[in-house]
Amino acid sequence: MKRYLIIIIAVLLLGQTSAGGGLPKLLKKVGTMLDSMSVRGLDRRYIDAPERPWQVIVRGNVNQSILSMKTTGTIADIEYDAKPHLKTKPSRYVGVWAGYRGYGVGYTVNVGGDRGSYFTLGATGGAYGVNVRIHSFENSSPNFDLNSDVIPEEDKDEWYEVELANPIKVHTVIADGYYLFNGKHFSYAAAYDQSVIQKRSAGSLMAGAMYYYGSIDYSSRTNGDLIYLMQGLGKVKLWQGSVGVGYAYNWVPARGLLVNAMAMPMLTFVNKIKAYGYGTNMEELMVDPRFMGEGMSDDEWDEWFYGNLRISPMGDKTFNSGMTVNIDARLSLTYNFGRYFINAYGQFNNMRYSHDGTHGHLNDWFVNTSIGIRL
């Protein structure tokens, strides 16, 4: 609501620029309004706003996503459990964030690990805050745990580290907002974008809401064997809406130093899944004498198998997965010295889904380090 109010006021002020002052005057008025909002209702003994309103931050990020799925099925009257376990290597990102009084944008790019990028939006101030994080990445080397008599014991290690011909593509959007019941003495912004400074220790009960969207797609033709083991499931989209109540605390052990911890269990009341099914010709290939690879080199077998492997869309189905409990937890360390500050913080999210014989979860964590300057 605060963001919309700012936009409305900006539009109204824009209508006055033709009468005199122009864009510089408009920007000055908006800046003055944000300056006033950043300290309104705060106890200045606990929270103070720096004189310099701009923050420019260089960030380094280490991230890991763990996607775990499980399904049960039958091949030739033999039961099996398939457990694709996509665990990316810790990935490294570098980027920049810039904002005015806690309202800003950031972008980071991958420099190691999975192929991906992050885009972030943030609006923090007073007792309210909104953050949006967009992450996209690809991985072609998932750990794959397959329990079945179909696979001989001596061959299970080969299945555990699978190299896919086409990568699994994952795209996530996490948007969260919060309200602080003790915004007069406690600042979330002091710990996560350094737009204000926490001078004394304080904590606050907080209410939050989170929107999550995730897309997991491995529906390329050459992944037909994986699709077959997943009982025809080739792509999943998830939408989740959650609300929760948690607690956050800012500890100031020394001047300029701030330690923040926050934990919020969240009840997911919207948990919608759209599953995309595909048919394959795996059973036809499995009865072909060439399937066992006798008299063929690995390259010859790959050329025959992947050259003949086919998939075909069989439609999609949308269903609700029911209520579940997710977790939002964060930890932050900040040190302010003059115009400069350094910060490190981590966040952990857990998202779950289930339907019939298929269920899974997505754990996503990152550790962010940064150094910034106020201008």
pLDDT digits (tens, 9 = 90+) for 5-53: 444 444 444 555 444 566 566 555 655 555 555 556 678 899 988 888 8
Name, in order, each residue with C-beta under 8 angstroms of 117's C-beta and a sequence gap of 6 or more: 93, 107, 108, 109, 110, 135, 136
pTM: 0.74
How far is 42 from 48, CA to CA, in rounded Å? 8
How many of the other CB atoms lie within 10 Å of CB of 340? Answer: 12
Q: How far apart are CA 71 and CA 359, in angstroms?
A: 7
Beta strand 340-355 with 47-48: parallel, antiparallel or unpaired? unpaired
At 311-364, the pLDDT tens digits run 999 988 887 777 778 778 889 999 999 899 999 988 877 766 665 566 777 777
CA 261, CA 251: separation in Å to the nearest integer?
Answer: 9
Phi-psi region of 315 (alpha: psi -120 to 50; beta: other; left: phi over 0): left
Report whether pLDDT(372) > 50.
yes
Element (H, E) at 208: strand 202-217
Q: What is the pLDDT of residues 67-86, one digit of tens each?
A: 676 766 555 555 556 666 66
Distance CA 354, CA 362 (A): 12
- Between CA 102 and CA 53 the distance in angstroms is 9
Determine what percent of the chain falls in helix, strand and coil, rounding each to the nearest 5: 20, 60, 20
Here the tokens at position 361 are 């979860």
The pLDDT score that the predictor gives to residue 5 is 43
